[in-house]
Amino acid sequence: MTPSSSIDTAGAAPHDEHHDHHPSYLVDGTTIKSWILTVDHKRIGLMFLFFVLLFFLVGGIFALLIRLELLTPGPTIMDAMTYNRTFTLHGLVMIFLFMIPAIPAVFGNFMLPLMLGAKDVAFPRLNLASLYIYLTGAVFMLWGMLNGGLDTGWTFYTPYSTHTTTTVAPVMFGAFIIGFSSIATGINFIVTCHTMRAPGITWFKMPLFVWAIYATSCIQVLATPVIGLLTVLVAVENLFSFGMFDPARGGDPVLFQHLFWFYSHPAVYIMVLPAFGVMSEIVSTYSRKNIFGYRAVAYSSLGIAFVGFFAWGHHMFVSGQSTFDAGVFGVLTMLVGVFTAIKVFNWVGTVYKGAVDFKTPFAYFCGFLFFTVFGGMTGIALGTVSLDVAWHDTYFVVAHFHFIMVGATIMAFLAALHYWFPKMFGRTYHEGWGLVSAALIILGFNATFIPQFLLGNNGMPRRYYDYPERFQALNVASTAGATLLAFGFIIIAMYLTYSLVYGKVAGKNPWRSKGYEWLSESPPPTHNFVGPQPTFPEEPHFYVDPKKAEVPDAV
Amino acid sequence: MQSSAHTADGAANLPRLAGHFASLEVQNHAARLGMWLFLATEILLFAGLFVCYGCYRFLYPEAWAAGSRSLDLTMGTVNTVVLITSSLTAALAVHYAKAGENKKVGVMFVLTLLMAVGFLVIKYFEYAHKFHIGTLPGRYYHYEGIQVTGIPLYFTVYFCSTALHAFHVIIGMAVLSVAMVRAFRKKDFGPNNYTMVELGSMYWHLVDLVWIFLFPMLYLV
Ligand code: HEM
Ligand SMILES: [Cu+2]
């Protein structure tokens, strides 16, 4: 690809005010207005980071309340209705306000243009709008939760959700609005990948994180409208009794399940594909090796995105589905496992004979690998109809999706936070504390959810407030694990906040990574690159000799 | 893009290049691609309703037959013609925008908007009639004339889909109004700068297209 002259001149167009010195995006304008009205993708990413963390805290507090309640059989700290509301709020906040935007809206926003050598995303103002749409939806949701709450679970299953007198409508409108934010972000990223790649970045020179975000965006754009419609229909039905999903009025609640999982199964890949992308970056950086099977990793993201659309029926094995349908959905479900396995083997192949630099992000990579493999295998097991009939709606399912969805995503989120911390803030965190807290978190996570696999296998149903005496030991173990997890997060919050101000100044590329984003300053200037638009002759994960990876120069 | 810091000002009819794009060509390409993706999401939004329609039609064929017979075919047909014609004027607006004839662009949009209003007025009469006789969704259904199982559900689907469509009509009108004002007041559309007109019209074609699905589904079959 030869750079055309028009591209060069546009790239060299100077920024009017800051012709000679290029302040970092953090200090280029310090008024409140310069933040809340910014169209800089980096600032928008940072604001997303703030809110995503805030909601993670809220969701985390609800999680601890749930675990505390389940510490002993019978009422422990709340009554049954409060319990139902608590787990609903936990699920809603975690899924819609944390997991879905966590990696794409924060790190996707921040890194994607840098990784493509672009000055910004394709539609900067749409990008800012998506932040405010997200916040509007969050306000609706939280308002509904505080004014009565709702007790349907995050899946809003009908016909219960169309009848309950709790505040279903505002919360579902909130989810609808957040869906628009997700769509806007997705469209923005897709168009950015198509139109804003710097000269030299062909499709197969895009970093794997970009590929993952691209595949995620495709899912967002294709799946979210359907759940958007569905949330509106249920909200309206809850308000006016239209009967669309109410069997008493001739409606079909199973149709709701079909449409719901048509979105929500792919949605689980909205949460986990970006995590896969982060890990592809990290594994090659810290192994000092080119990623093994770049194309396979890139294509398997698209593969997961594709087959993810045909697996929704595995949530409905016990809904009266025909045996034939169940068989088909079972097989389609397992195809997802194939694509995931491709990635896993490639990551392992990358580490093999690499010069591993065991830093905090790499510790998270190890945890991630375990959670993904274990969570994925239990997924295959659940995709087997006969097994699922036994495990359905037990804690086994809860443990499965926490392992794969929460485990993998949290690992990736924390890994990304540490890996890109120097890029975003220009300072490094304390490695010792990083490793300690990573160990705590991985340990705490296992301690929380492995007992839940056992509980489910022994027959403890999910979403129950009470349980027989014989389940108590495992529940106590799980609550203890959750406490450990909470400590891990508190430690991280403390040293990262400290590092923001007192951390060692990082320099351009502290990890000696070959990722394109490290070619710019840390933290980057407002328009990402100083001088003419960079060109990228090398591949993004190109380490010549794993033992002496050099710092790449900007060309 | 007008608020961006970097502008390639110059002769009239030259669009503004936002600083983060490499060239105008790329910028227009991005805008068009973004719009296509957005339209795809809109179609998927309605697709959810189409799925509901299909399922319940399969479950309650008699109710669907009776329901669609009870709709006013004349009004529906007139509305279809009106909307298709308005799509034509919107397309002509793009044609004139490419030629830089701003006044004609404005006039075409005025015509489009008038037809949109006409569409909504007819829809209003249809709705008013249904409110009057009681062919309403769900528990509000109290029309004595048709009593087959599932008929309230037919009207649930009818009202949900036509209301969602009407909502899109209104949004489309807002978009086209902005384009119209810009054509008349600023006269800045021309061979190099017609993206806004083009995208606005694309949206309008979508509104039209959805109706072209809804009309046979609800009124004819
Ligand atoms: C890759 C990321 C994945 C995520 C984020 C994820 C997430 C989830 C979630 C949230 C649920 C529970 C839904 C509910 O509330 O009922 C679930 C259930 C299920 N998952 Fe996964 N999953 C993933 C991967 C897989 C894989 C790879 C498989 C199989 C190959 C799989 C198979 C299943 C099955 C069969 C169920 C239904 C269990 C039941 O409801 O009885 N999942 N998953
Ligand atoms: Cu699923």
**Taking CA atoms, what residue in B is nearest to A229?**
B45
Question: What does pTM read for this prediction?
Answer: 0.90
Residues 6+ away with beta carbon under 8 Å from B65:
none
Separation CA A25–CA A35 (nearest Å): 10
- The answer on pLDDT for A278 being more than 90 is yes
- Residues of chain B with C-beta less than 8 angstroms from the C-beta of A186: 37
The verdict on whether omega for the bond into residue A159 sits within 30 degrees of 0, i.e. cis, is yes
Q: Which ligand is nearest to the CA of A405?
A: 1
**CA proximity to A290, closest of A344, A363, A350, A333:** A350
**Which residue from A119, A222, A226 is facing B20, i.e. has the nearest CB?**
A119
- Min distance B39 CA to chain A CA atoms (Å): 10
CB B41 within 8 A of CB A224: yes
The closest alpha carbon to B104, from B117, B94, B118, B116, belongs to: B94
The ipTM of this complex is 0.89
From B219's Cα to the closest Cα of chain A, the distance in A is: 20
Looking at residue B14, its pLDDT comes to: 58
- Taking residues B2-15, what's their average pLDDT? 42
Q: What is the pLDDT of residue B23?
A: 83
Residue nearest to atom 28 of ligand 1 (CA): A379
Please say if the pLDDT value at position A10 is more than 70: no
Protein residue with least CA distance to atom 31, ligand 1: A379
The finding on whether A397 has its CB within 6 A of some atom of ligand 1 is: yes
- Sort out which chain A residues have CB atoms less than 8 A from B60's CB and list them: 250
Q: Is A525 helix (H, G, I), strand (E, B) or coil?
A: strand
Mean pLDDT of all residues belonging to chain A: 90
Q: What is the pLDDT of residues B136-165, one digit of tens each?
A: 888 888 888 888 888 889 999 999 999 999
Closest CA to A454 of A538, A372, A398: A398
Q: Is A379's C-beta closer than 6 angstroms to any atom of ligand 1? A: yes
Pairwise pLDDT comparison (A270 vs B16), residue with the higher score = A270
pLDDT tens digits for range A459-479 = 999 999 999 999 999 999 999
Omega into A101 within 30° of 0, i.e. cis? no
Q: Are the beta carbons of A250 and B149 closer than 8 angstroms?
A: yes
Average pLDDT over residues A344-370: 94
Tokens in use for A145? Answer: 């939760």
Give me the pLDDT at residue A179, please.
94
Atom 32 (ligand 1) nearest CA: A379
Atom of ligand 1 nearest to the CA of A397: 38
Percent share of chain B, pLDDT over 90: 63
- Mean pLDDT within B82-104: 93
Whether residue A15 lies within 8 A of chain B, CB to CB, comes out as yes
- Would you say the CB of residue A405 lies under 6 angstroms from ligand 1? yes
Ligand 1 pocket test, candidate residues A372, A389, A397, A411, most atoms within 8 A of CB: A397
Give the rounded distance of the alpha carbon of A371 from its chain centre.
15
Average pLDDT in the A204-229 region? Answer: 93
Q: 3-state DSSP call for residue B94? A: helix
- Given a cut of 80, whether residue A427 has pLDDT beyond it is yes
pLDDT on residue A277: 96
Helix axes B24-59, B151-181, angle to 10 degrees: 160
Tokens of B109: 């949009």
Distance in angstroms (rounded) separating the CA atoms of residues A282 and A297: 14
Q: Does A226 contact B at CB distance below 8 Å?
A: yes
Q: Is the pLDDT of residue B36 over 80?
A: yes
How many Cβ atoms from other residues are within 10 Å of residue A493's Cβ? 13
CA of A123: how far to CAs of A26, A369, B36, in Å?
Answer: 21, 35, 14
Question: What per-residue confidence (pLDDT) applies to A14?
Answer: 42
> What pLDDT is recorded for position B157?
93
Contact between chains at A222 and B44 (C-beta distance less than 8 A) = yes
pLDDT computed for residue A243 by the predictor = 86
Using the predicted structure, report yes or no on whether residue A532 has a pLDDT greater than 70: yes
Is B138 in Cβ contact with A240 (below 8 Å)?
yes
Nearest in space to A275 (alpha carbons), one of A446, A107, A56, A452: A107
A542 within ligand 1 shell (Cβ under 6 A): no
What is the Å distance from ligand 1's center to A266 Cα?
10
pLDDT of the residue at B167: 95
Residues bordering ligand 2, an ion, CB closer than 5 Å: A 265
DSSP B146: -
| Closest CA–CA distance from residue B57 to any residue of chain A (Å) | 11
The better pLDDT of the pair A546, A193 is held by: A193
**Which amino acid type is present at position A121?**
V
Distance CA B149, CA B151 (A): 6
Confidence of residue A406 (pLDDT cuts 50, 70, 90): very high
Cα-Cα-Cα-Cα torsion A129, A130, A135, A136, nearest 10 degrees, comes to: 70
pLDDT (tens digit, 9 = 90+) per residue, A66-96? 999 999 998 999 999 999 999 999 999 999 9
Ligand 2 geometric centre to CA of A315 (Å): 6
Residues 6+ positions from A152 with CB-CB distance below 8 Å: A88, A160, A161, A164, A166, A168
By the 8 A CB rule, do A481 and A444 touch?
Answer: yes
Percent of chain A with pLDDT over 70: 94
Using a CB-CB distance cutoff of 8 angstroms, which residues of chain A are in contact with residue B52? 233, 244, 255, 259
**What residues form DSSP beta bridges with B127?**
none
Phi–psi pair at A298, nearest 5 degrees: -65, -50
Evaluate whether A111 touches A49 at the Cβ level (below 8 Å). Answer: no
**Contact assessment for residue A152 and residue A160, using Cβ atoms and an 8 Å cutoff:** yes
pLDDT value for A536: 81
CA atoms within 13 A on the CB side of A455: 32
Task: Tell me the C-alpha distance between B159 and A186, whole Å.
Answer: 30
pLDDT of residue A522: 87
Residue A183 Cα, ligand 2 centroid: separation in angstroms? 21
pLDDT > 50? residue A8 = no
In the prediction, which pLDDT does A16 show? 42
Name the nearest CA neighbour of B8 among B185, B194, B192: B192
Are B33 and A230 in contact (CB < 8 Å)?
A: no
pLDDT band at B91 (very low <50, low <70, confident <90, very high): very high
Residue A327 Cα to ligand 2 midpoint, Å, equals: 15
Most confident of the following: A52-66, A537-551, B21-35:
A52-66
pLDDT at residue B217 tops 70:
yes
> How high is the pLDDT of residue A544?
61
Residues near A435 by beta carbon (within 8 Å), at least 6 away in sequence = A360, A363
What's the pLDDT score for residue B12?
47
CA dihedral over A288, A292, A296, A297, signed as positive or negative: negative
CB A332 within 8 A of CB A310: yes
Question: For the residues A202-210, what does the mean pLDDT come to?
Answer: 93
Residues B167-207: tens digit of each pLDDT: 999 999 999 999 999 999 888 788 888 899 999 999 999 99
pLDDT range class, residue A372, cuts 50, 70, 90: very high
Question: DSSP assignment, residue A427?
Answer: B
Q: Name, in order, each residue with C-beta under 8 angstroms of B163's C-beta and a sequence gap of 6 or more.
A: none
Which one, of A109, A123, A132, lies nearest residue A524 by Cα?
A109
Checking phi first, is residue B187 left (phi over 0); if not, alpha (psi -120 to 50) or beta? left
Q: Which residues 230-249 of A are in CB contact (within 8 Å) with B?
A: 230, 233, 236-237, 240-244, 249
What pLDDT score does A451 carry?
A: 97
A92, A314, A369: which to mutate for ligand 1, most atoms within 8 A of CB? A314
pLDDT at A1: 33
Cβ distance A123 to B56 less than 8 Å, yes or no, reads: no
Token pair belonging to A472:
């108590």
Q: Specify the pLDDT at position B136.
A: 86
Beta-carbon-side half-sphere exposure of residue A400 (alpha carbons within 13 Å): 21
Of all residues in chain A, the one with the smallest CA distance to B156 is: A242
Candidates A195, A254, A264, partner chain B, best to mutate (most B CBs within 10 A): A195
* Ligand 1 and A383: CB distance under 6 A: yes
**Tokens describing residue A537:** 């002759």
Alpha-carbon distance A146 to A547, whole Å?
56
Q: What is residue A546's predicted lDDT score, i.e. its pLDDT?
A: 46
Q: Tell me how far CA of residue A392 lies from CA of A317, A397, A538, B84, in angstroms.
A: 9, 7, 49, 50
A334 pocket-lining for ligand 1 (C-beta < 6 Å): yes
Burial class (CB in 10 A: 0-12, 13-18, 19+), A470: exposed
Residue B61 contacts by C-beta under 8 Å, 6 or more apart in sequence? Answer: none
Average pLDDT over chain B reads: 88
Q: Which residue in A153, A54, A70, A56 sits closest to A448, CA to CA?
A: A70
Q: A3 pLDDT band (50/70/90 cuts)?
A: very low
The residue whose CA is least distant from atom 8 of ligand 1 is A401
Inter-chain CB proximity A222 and B40 less than 8 Å: yes
Per-residue pLDDT at B15:
62
| A44-61 tens-digit pLDDT | 999 999 999 999 999 999
> CB distance from A196 to chain B under 8 Å?
yes
Query: What residues of chain A lie within 8 A of the CB of B192, using their CB?
Result: none
Q: Chain B residues with CB inside 8 Å of A252's CB?
A: 55-56, 59
CA distance B187 to B202: 20
Stronger pLDDT, A179 or A538, i.e. the higher one: A179
CA distance A245 to A117: 48
Q: Helices (DSSP H) in chain B: which residue ranges?
A: 24-59, 61-70, 73-99, 102-133, 151-181, 195-215
Burial class (CB in 10 A: 0-12, 13-18, 19+), B11: exposed
Average the pLDDT over B68-77 and give the result. Answer: 90
Residue A533 and residue B22: Cβ atoms within 8 Å? yes
